[in-house]
Chains A and B, each alone.
Chain A
Amino acid sequence: MKNFAALILGFAIILAPQAGFAQRTKLAAALFDEQVLLTSSFSGTKVTIFGAVEAAGESNPDVVVLVRGPDRPAWISKKIKVLNLWVGQKRVFFDAAPTFFGVVSSKNIDEITAKDTQKLYGLTADSQVNIQPNYAKLDFAQDYKKSFISEREKQKLYLNDPKGVKIEASGLFRADVKMPDLTPPGLYTVKVLVFKNGRPVDTNLQSFVVTKVGMERTIFEFAKKHTLTYGIFGVILALGAGFISARVFRRFQGA
């Protein structure tokens, strides 16, 4: 909640009468929540960004919000025919790909700015996924990268919502980014960009954490720290459950 104080202060500065100042577009933004908790009932969430933009001049500013999850190496493989049978596969590895990449904007991103500007400012998933150098030369690498992005779009991990940012006439805006249950834990960055006449005029950077809590965290950390004990425990649990169920059933049948 402490970010709300900062936000209100930001609004106050922006919305104050600006006689005498040089005309410049100003931006203030803050996250509604600074952390997302992965509990046992987690099945996806919505991250909300509030802000205010005060534009100089006549034309209305456009707002683009990028939410980017932690980078991880990734791969895609495609099934191929070997000896006329579906058995082989070809693979392309990516050095780094964001695990989550959401772009929400006040209107279609192609209407906001040109393609090369989009690429320069990393507004598209295509500019965020890097093919490993020794795979980049392969003729099918670019096609596979496109397929990789569309697979992640199917999983709702990569998304593009041209109606995700709602701007009021006063300059106040609200952006909602939906995150699926597959969203991995880690540090997420939120970048708010204000465009005017196709050019970026101001940005704001925020971050939030997605983290496991409670039993989910305990199990995860135990599994990583005490691999051996966890493995033994897993087998004991399985055999114990089998044993108990057999005993319970025998009692029912005996009775």
Chain B
Amino acid sequence: MQIYLPIAEMAVNFWLMLGIGALVGLISGMFGIGGGFLLTPLLILFGIPAPIAVVSGANVSAAASMSSLMPQIERKTIDFRLALLMTISGVVGVGVGSVIFKYLQNIGYADVMVKIAYVILLGFVGISLLRESITSYLNDKKNIQAAPRDTRRKKSNIGYKLPLKMRFPRSKLFISVIPPIALGFVIGILSALMGVGGGFLLIPALIYIVNMPPSLVVGTSAFQVLVFASATSFVQGINSGGLDLVLAGVLIIGAVVGAQLGSIIGRKIKGEELRILLGSIILLLALVIAGELFITPQQLFETSSAGGGL
């Protein structure tokens, strides 16, 4: 069944878009990430003009994260104080990031720098996440009586050493505000540079740098994604006029249902297994981007769209 998009000025397959929405929602609900890193390239692959894919993708991420956030609110598995702190510094980071991006563009190597940095970052995060979670998973299987402190990787205590300590009652932490603020700021810069939310970086960082209890990580990250994705959909939508509500609507129907299923699955499987999955996705993403750098692209040419958006 084909459906015509009024802003993109083209027809897409309704069921295909519904399926893409559901897949992205599932991932978003399971891990508390936006899924924009998956959705936007998929939309572009199916011929949606890039500005429309970016804005409509952000809109769908907002819906998916709202859907996965609701059960977390009811279960009180969000540290709002920490999330707000990171969101505020994140917004500043987006501002700084867009200035950096303009500067890199003027030099002419914006694409190279950003992509190489991304591959290294994602590769590092993916490998360490996988190593930690697999080790911990195997130890759990082999010997349940093993001392729990041995099975856990030594966590950073940077938050306890730095000044400006603040109490985060929900996370049962009394740490410096510097790591969460710095984290929000860095994620903000990255989302401005890469055009993706950065949730997949936030989750490991919350576990290993901030020492947040793993049960709170998914909800707290989803809150951050919600704010970022809503802001992107609104600001970019006004700038480029690329929000196609028919496209977003179809994707959202799939995404909100997928997000609910995702959060049910996420609760059923163990923390280590969830981290193994997330680590694999991040590593796969790093490999795909690295591949794009080295392998001759199938489509060398890209043209402006005949219809809307541009």
Interface size classification for chain A: 35 or more
B 21-64 contacts with A by CB, 8 A: 59-60, 62-64
A148–B303 alpha-carbon span in the complex (Å) = 7
Beyond A224-B241, A243-B70, whether A99 also contacts B307 by CB under 8 A is yes
Q: Give chain A residues whose Cβ lies under 8 Å from the Cβ of B69.
A: 242, 246
- Near A by CB (< 8 A), chain B positions 247-292 give 248-249, 252-253, 256-257, 259-260, 264, 292
Q: Is the CB of A86 within 8 A of B296?
A: yes
Give the interface of B toward A (CB within 8 A). 2-4, 6-7, 9-11, 59-60, 62-71, 74, 109, 111-112, 115-116, 226, 230, 233-234, 237-238, 241, 243, 245-246, 248-249, 252-253, 256-257, 259-260, 264, 292-297, 300-308
Check B59 against A234 for contact (C-beta < 8 Å).
yes
The smallest C-beta distance from B206 to any residue of chain A, in angstroms, reads: 22
Cβ contacts A to B, 12 pairs, < 8 Å = A44-B11, A75-B303, A77-B303, A87-B115, A147-B301, A157-B306, A183-B307, A184-B9, A223-B241, A231-B243, A241-B256, A246-B66
Closest to A249 in B: B260
The A/B interface has a contact count, at CB < 8 Å, of 192
Chain B residue nearest in CB terms to A69: B306
Q: Given A44-B11, A184-B308, A245-B67, verify A238-B233 contact (CB < 8 Å).
A: yes
Binding site for B on A (CB under 8 A): 38-44, 69, 72-79, 82-83, 85-89, 99-100, 147-148, 151-152, 155, 157, 181-185, 212, 215-217, 219-220, 223-224, 227-228, 230-235, 237-239, 241-247, 249-250, 253
Q: Which residues of B contact A220 (CB under 8 A)?
A: 6-7
CB of A90, distance to nearest CB on chain B (Å): 10
A246 to B264, CA, bound (A): 11
Assembly CA distance A210 to B63 (angstroms): 33
How long is the Cα–Cα vector from A78 to B257 in the complex, in angstroms?
A: 39
- Given A41-B2, A223-B243, A238-B248, are A99 and B230 also a contact pair (CB < 8 Å)? no
Answer whether A242 and B243 are a contact pair too, CB < 8 Å, given A42-B4, A100-B306, A181-B11. no
Bound together, the chains give a CA A74 to CA B241 distance in angstroms of 18
- Contact among B2, B63, B246 for A219, CB-based, below 8 A: B246
B97 to chain A, nearest CB (A): 19
